Amino acid sequence: MKELIAIVMAAVLVNNYVLAQFLGICPFLGVSKKLDQAAGMSVAVIFVMLLATAVTYPIQYFVLNPNGLGYLQTIVFILVIAALVQLVEIILKKYIPALHASLGVYLPLITTNCAVLGVCISNVDNYLTATGGFGGGFVQAMFNSLGSGLGFLLAMVLFSGVRSRVDKCKCPECFKGMPITLISAAIVSVSFMGFAGIVENLLG
């Protein structure tokens, strides 16, 4: 249990996908203008990350690895994620229209979100071991996805707050728009560097 909490905390605070590993920068800069959009996008990302891991990890373990098809990883994963996102959208539209109205907007954008493919590949790289069996690695991978998604949510929500303030401030003409956004992202990123070592110290 302690181990799983450590995985989630490390993914949220120390190895934050957006601010420390530079994955999913496009939505981070593009959709973080308003708090509700940022939260909606992040919830959709958490959902897709969990689902994608739940599907791609068994594929790697039961299909690709035993048949020596490891090199097909990239192509299989991206197709699975793209198909999965489409499927989720269709199911939500048909059966849960309320959820589709709030999340559906963000789902097509997620297909080309590198954070989702990134989390699937790094889960397979880090937690799938030849000797460890399926169960243990799979649970760790799922918790890592959850942590990564929560980290994305945290970064998006915090940054949308920062951005709403920055947009109201005066800054030199040439810094308007993207440059000042990037520089405020740098400052938010500095604050996350302060979490280095927190997991080791708290959970030993």
Partner 1 sequence: MKNNKLNILTNGIIKENPILVLILGTCPFLAVTTQASNAIGMGAAVTFVLLCSNVMISLLRKVISDKVRIPCYIVVIASFVTLVQMIVKAYFKSLDDALGLYLPLIVVNCIILGRAEMFANKNGALDSALDAIGMGVGYTLAMLAMASIREIFGAGTWFGIALPVLSENNISIMTMAPGGFAIFGILIAIINKASNGKAIKKKDFSCEGCPSAAACNGQNCAEKREAAAK
Site residues, partner 1 (CB under 8 A): 19-26, 29-31, 37, 71-75, 78-79, 82, 104-109, 111-114, 117-118, 121-122, 125, 172-183, 185-187, 189-190, 192-193
3-state secondary structure 147-177: HHHHHHHHHHHHHHHHHHHHCCCCCCHHHCC
Of 103, 76, 73, the residue nearest 89 (C-alpha): 103
CB of 105 to partner 1, least distance (A): 5
Q: Which residues contact 130 (CB under 8 A, 6 or more apart)?
A: 65
Longest dimension (CA), the chain: 60
Nearer to partner 1, 41 or 146 (CB): 41
CB of 130 to partner 1, least distance (A): 18
Nearer to partner 1, 5 or 29 (CB): 29
Structure tokens at 70: 């490891």
CB of 94 to partner 1, least distance (A): 17
CB of 25 to partner 1, least distance (A): 5
Nearer to partner 1, 97 or 179 (CB): 179
Nearer to partner 1, 4 or 109 (CB): 109
H runs (alpha helix) in the chain: 2-9, 25-30, 35-58, 73-95, 97-103, 107-110, 114-127, 134-166, 178-193, 198-203
Nearer to partner 1, 29 or 54 (CB): 29
CB of 36 to partner 1, least distance (A): 10
Cα end-to-end span (Å), the chain? 13
